[in-house]
Every structure is written in structure tokens, then in C-alpha cells.
Amino acid sequence: MTTHRIGVIGGDGIGPEVIAVGLDVIAATGVELDTVDYDLGGARYLRDGVVLTDEIVDEWRELDALYLGAVGTPDVPPGVIERGLLLKMRFDLDLYINQRPFVLEGSHEFVVIRENTEGTYAGEGGFLRKSSPHEIATQGSVNTRHGVERCVRYAFELADGRPRRHLTLVHKTNVLTFSGDLWARTFDEVAGEYPRVDTAYNHVDAACIYFVQEPQRYDVIVTDNLFGDILTDLGGAVSGGIGLASSANLRPGGVSMFEPVHGSAPDIAGRDEANPIAAILSGALMLDHLGEGEAADRIRAACGAYADHPGSTTEIGRAIVDELTGGR
Ligand code: NAI
Ligand code: MG
């Protein structure tokens, strides 16, 4: 059996609590991890000023995956950790896919693939005459053929391997006539290579209605960075809430990062109250990526029984571990 080398960043607040449970659950499947702990986040920054160094990123490139809890503490100025740690990780490791699965009542599952490195989040733009009455701020959207195509291609690959084989492009092509045109043309061209995948297109505003009223229409969705950020929060809200939402930040073929969608929840930190399922399901996504799909499926099945279960972090974790080991 292969042992996978995993960098673990528990982070702040409830991050270390839910990651500890996630690691216990993975161990219960029999999958072996060799973990390296990284003490990073708001608390570390307040202690010695370190957010994330290039040396650490270079170590990460040698690992099989990263498993992250949540980072951020109330007493660190906004932006320091988000830009210095989360965005640096995303850009330096070129984690160009953000993948989030959503499970609805009736067990329908759909997946959003969000482009994770370009669009309005690429940082193009600036100020002119800042803080004067004539101030101008621009914030451009960067869309490269290379960046769009690799994301769209990943989504087609994923859809092609699922039973329904259905992929929806979400954008706003009627108004964003330049970036939308590049996305739509790329989508249509790549579609030609995947004749088994049925395709659809929704404007993002219409997609918001369907997310709430008719999410069953979706199998896989692909969209840009900004629309994906907003749609995935909506997806979380219509599918059981923040305690269940898991995510993968992927570089297919390279080291990728897996984390719950929620933050460090300082309001409940240290009280054994956090729902660990989002972290556990993120661990399952990591196992998928490591080629341990069978163990990942067993974790998802075990979590299903506890989605609405009251209980503390450790109680829910123990119940899921028992489910996986048959109470041994
Ligand atoms: P948050 O997700 O930490 O908390 C929002 C609300 O949801 C809180 O009431 C919290 O108690 C609750 N909550 C979150 N996760 C939960 C869980 N597993 N079980 C039960 N309840 C849960 O978002 P917030 O308050 O905006 O941010 C807190 C800190 O986390 C900030 O420093 C923020 O920057 C950071 N953050 C970090 C993220 C990351 O590491 N990727 C993502 C989002 C926020
Ligand atoms: Mg968000």
C-alpha cells in the first residue's frame, strides 16, 4: 500500500479541531498518511511575523497534497493572511481549479468547477487620483486562452466520468462580450472533443434562480473566478450550510490543497462545537485526488448518516470513525 505524504496546516480557531477529526477518519479507512505539520496562520503571524515563506512553498511542491483547516484570527489586519497565505499558496502552486461538491436533499449531487487564478481576482487595475474627488479605480478581468481552456477541459473530463455526463457553462456572455466570448468559444471547441457530454449554458443571474428553485438540473458547472466565488456560497446555503461544505484547490498532476469552505470560527473555537463534516468531506476529496477513491466513497457514505446529527466535534468524529471500522 502507498503511504501518501501530506502537509497539514491546522491553522487557527476551529481549524486544528476539525482537521484532527478529519485525519482520524482517514486513518479509519486504512489509508496511510505520512503527515508533516505546518504551524501557519494568524496566531503564528502574531508570534513571529511569518505568514508563508518561499522555502515552505518549495517543501510543499515535494508533497502529495495539503490539508488545511482554516486560517485567520480577529486581531490580524484584514488581507495579511488572505493575500500572504491563501492567495500566495493558490498562485505559487498554480492551484487553478476550485472544486466544490454540493449534496441536496434526495441525495442529488452536483459539482461547481471555478477557475481559481484569473478573472477579476488576478489583481489587474489600480487607482488614479486616489482619495480625491476625481478618484478613479479600475479592476480588470484577466482571461487567458490557456487559463480558460485548462479549466474548461478539467470540467469536461470530470463530467465525462460521471453517470449523467452533463456540463453547464455559467457566465454573462450577453453583457461581458469579450471575456464571455472567449469562455463560450473555448467551451464550444473543447466540447467537440467530448461528444458524450451534454452541454448547457446559463447566465449567472439565471443560475442563481436555478440554484434555489431547481438545482436538480445541474451535474457539473464550470465558471469563472468571481461568478464561481458567489455561486459556491449560494450552493453551500442551499445544501446544508457551512458545516458541510468541502472544497479542493487543484493543480491536476501537481500538489493540490483540500480545505473546508468555512473559516476559523473564533466565536466557537475551543468549545468542541464545530461541525467536523466539512473537513472530513474535504479529506475525502483529497483521497479522490490521491487515487484512493474507494476509501473516499466510504467516508462520504458514513458522513451521510451524520449530516443532521447533533453532537460535539469529537462525538460526530467518533461516530463516523465507528461507522467506518464497524465499531472495532
Ligand atoms: P467563519 O466561516 O469562520 O464563521 C462564520 C459563522 O459560521 C460563525 O458563526 C461560525 O461559528 C460558523 N461556523 C463556521 N464553521 C462552522 C462549523 N464547522 N461548524 C459550525 N459552525 C461553523 O467565517 P468568518 O466568521 O467570516 O471568519 C472567521 C475567520 O476565518 C476570519 O479570520 C476569516 O478571515 C477566516 N476565514 C478563513 C478561511 C480559510 O481559511 N479559507 C475562509 C473564510 C474565513
Ligand atoms: Mg467565498
Q: What DSSP designation does 280 have? A: H
- 247 Cα to the center of ligand 2, angstroms: 11
Q: Check which CATH number belongs to the domain holding 57 and give it.
A: 3.40.718.10
Same-domain status, 223 and 314 = no
Write down the pLDDT at residue 327: 66
Write down the pLDDT at residue 79: 87
Same-domain status, 64 and 124 = no
Range of the domain at 120: 105-238
Give the model confidence (pLDDT) of 230-262 as tens digits: 999 999 999 988 889 999 999 998 999 999 999
Atom of ligand 1 nearest to the CA of 72: 32
Atom of ligand 1 nearest to the CA of 74: 32
Same-domain status, 109 and 230 = yes
Write down the pLDDT at residue 145: 98
Same-domain status, 2 and 90 = yes
Same-domain status, 122 and 204 = yes
123 pLDDT more than 90: no
Structural domain count, the chain: 2
Last residue of a domain, one of 238, 270, 288: 238
Predicted TM-score of the model (pTM): 0.93
Give the model confidence (pLDDT) of 195-227 as tens digits: 999 999 999 999 999 999 999 999 999 999 999
Last residue of a domain, one of 186, 214, 238: 238
Same-domain status, 314 and 264 = yes
- Ramachandran bin of 188, using left for φ above 0, alpha for ψ from -120 to 50, beta for the remaining angles: alpha
- Is 72 a pocket residue for ligand 1 (Cβ < 6 Å)? yes
When mean pLDDT is compared across 110-119, 231-240, 281-290, the lowest value belongs to 231-240
Mean pLDDT, range 20-43, rounded to an integer: 98
Same-domain status, 275 and 160 = no
Same-domain status, 288 and 302 = yes
Same-domain status, 206 and 118 = yes
Query: Element (H or E) spanning 35, and its range?
Result: strand 32-37
Same-domain status, 223 and 249 = no
The cell 508533497 sits on which residue? Answer: 63
- Is 267 a pocket residue for ligand 1 (Cβ < 6 Å)? yes
Same-domain status, 174 and 259 = no
Give the model confidence (pLDDT) of 128-167 as tens digits: 999 999 999 999 999 999 999 999 999 999 999 999 999 9
Distance in angstroms (rounded) separating the CA atoms of residues 320 and 318: 5
Write down the pLDDT at residue 242: 86
Write down the pLDDT at residue 161: 96
